Amino acid sequence: MSGIADLRGLRVWDSRGNPTVEAVVVTERGAMGRAIAPAGASRGRREAVDLRDGGARLRGMDVARAVGHVGGPIRDRLRGMEVADQAGVDAALVALDGTADRGRLGGNALVAVSLAVMQAAAAEAGVPVWRHLAAVHGAEPTLPLPEIQIFGGGAHAERRVDVQDFMVMVPGAGSFAEALEITAEVYHAAGAIMRRRGLIAGVADEGGWWPMFRSNEEALETLCEAIIAAGETPGGRVVVSLDIAASEFGEAGVYRLALDGREMEAAAWGVVLARWIADYAVVSVEDPMGEDDMAGFAAFTAAMGGRVQIVGDDLLVTRAALLEAAAAAGAGNAVLLKPNQVGTVSETAAALAAARRHGWGAIVSARSGETEDVAIVHLATGLDAGQLKVGSFARSERMAKWNEGLRIEAELPGRFAGARPLAGTWWGLRQSGQA
């Protein structure tokens, strides 16, 4: 391996037409790594912040300062560092920024650089990124189980429905490719049903159908209809997963469903969710309670954690220390991993390691503001995270990632996580004859 010889920043654009940061790392031997920072619309309060320029130009969203940091102080600090020393590079980035929220240099600058270093190290070694990660972390590379949005809501569809993501997973598939094929049938069946009923308002931020449902439950009913129309059975090979994103409509333990005209405390809201789980083949629920409602999160986990995957996103923001606190409180049993929430590859891997220590599941996730960058597919595969969430089965910034998974599977046949991540849920127990 060799040292980092140069580092450049560039302003590029994300899937919402907003500026974002690209970083390019060049090693002393001429290997190159390139990565782009994504951006979220639904954001946890404690996640790393993007550095934006403010002002009137480009609605204050420009990233000239963050790009300047990549080619300025970050370049100065990292030049000469060993490109294979991801942990050392990431520690240097965190120390150079010096803030808890990465606000001085910008979380967007840090994550682009960290991912680009990972790419450059793989290029230097002459191997795919997933293989490089597996070697560094001692993991058995495995294609993840896809979690794919069919209907978008919440902050991704102007809050047309309160729940943010209505998704499917195909743990009964025999391969990553088969999981995508079955999901494609469900996605297009859902679109056909909605067209017939005049329920389509467009395409949401992450490529799912932008719905015009009259209630949140109508979305669940329609999703199960689409699964059946695709020739599958809800709860058979195909199951439903939800990203509630409850921080978006909950505060101080009170949850207000604007579409349904209902306001409930956490216990009553948990009863609603439990019924949805029972009635609509739901096997995974992300952020069922708000990020400020650890007690509600823990109570819901106590009630339903033996049946479904309960995923912390806003509650945990990919930080190992927050996961440790949640595990101690019994709040959740799985973590969503978004590298840009915390700022570096090493911190993302640390959160995954913490999840494994506690027997939790993990899902590597994209953001609603995405690009053609496919690094998260390599992270999910090389670290054997088990699950991957990148949005819907449409829009090129989403399909770039699903297609990358297909390319990896061609090199790594027979290594699909499939049902493994859901083994402890009602679906997994039923499949194994234990329920």
Domain C-terminal end among 92, 126, 160: 126
pLDDT (mean) for 207-218? 91
Q: What is the mean pLDDT of the chain?
A: 96
Residues 153 and 111 in one domain: no
User: Count of domains in the chain?
Assistant: 2
Residues 112 and 215 in one domain: no
Residues tagged active-site: 206, 338
* pLDDT surpasses 80 at 435: no
Strand partners, 320: none
Please identify, among 80, 97, 126, the residue that sits at the C-terminal boundary of a domain.
126
pLDDT at residue number 43 = 78
Q: Are 61 and 103 in contact (CB under 8 A)?
A: no
- Domain membership of residue 137 (yes or no) is no
Kindly calculate the radius of gyration of the chain based on its CA atoms and give it in whole angstroms: 21
Closest CA to 38 of 61, 22, 26, 52: 22
**What b-and-e string marks burial along 278-296, b requiring 16 or more CB atoms within 10 Å of the CB?**
eebbbbbbbbbbbbbbbeb
CATH code of residue 85:
3.30.390.10
Does residue 214 register a pLDDT over 70? yes
> Is residue 293 included in any domain, yes or no?
yes
Measured CA to CA, the distance from residue 374 to residue 355 in angstroms comes to 23
Name beta bridge partners: 25: 7, 33
In a shared domain, residues 286 and 371: yes
What does 62-83 look like in DSSP terms, one character per residue? Answer: --HHHHHHIIIIIHHHHTTSBT
Residue 359 covered by a domain? yes
Same domain (yes/no): 193, 87: no
> Would residue 140 count as lying in a domain?
no
Same domain, 382 and 242: yes
Q: Quick check: is 138 in a domain?
A: no
DSSP string, 242-277: EE--GGGTEETTEEEETTTTEEEEHHHHHHHHHHHH
99 and 163, same domain (yes or no): no
In this predicted model, what pLDDT tens digit does every residue of 68-117 receive, in sequence order? 999 999 999 999 999 999 999 999 999 999 999 999 999 999 999 999 99
Q: Domain check: are 110 and 176 in the same one? A: no
Domain containing residue 329: CATH number: 3.20.20.120
Whether 318 shows a pLDDT value over 90: the answer reads: yes
Residue 106 lies in a domain: yes
- 1 pLDDT tier (thresholds 50, 70, 90): confident
pLDDT band at 156 (very low <50, low <70, confident <90, very high): low
Domain membership flag for residue 115: yes
Whether 204 and 190 have beta carbons less than 8 Å apart is answered as: no
Chain centre distance of CA 145: 13
Q: pLDDT tier at 243 (50, 70, 90 boundaries)?
A: very high
Q: Among 126, 156, 177, where does a domain finish?
A: 126
**Calpha distance 277→234 (Å, rounded):** 12
Percent above pLDDT 90 for the chain = 91
Give the range of the structural domain holding residue 92, as residue numbers without chain letter.
4-126
pLDDT tens, 351-385? 999 999 999 999 999 999 999 999 999 999 999 99
Q: Are residue 278 and residue 425 in the same domain, yes or no?
A: yes
**270 pLDDT above the threshold of 60:** yes
Pair (88, 183) in one structural domain: no
Task: Mark whether 180 and 225 lie in a shared domain.
Answer: yes
Strand order in the sheet with 254-257: 250-251, 254-257, 262-265
User: Stretch 322-338: mean pLDDT, rounded?
Assistant: 98
Residues 250 and 378 in one domain: yes
What's the whole-model pTM score? 0.97
Same domain, 206 and 100: no
For residue 58, tell me if it sits in a domain. yes
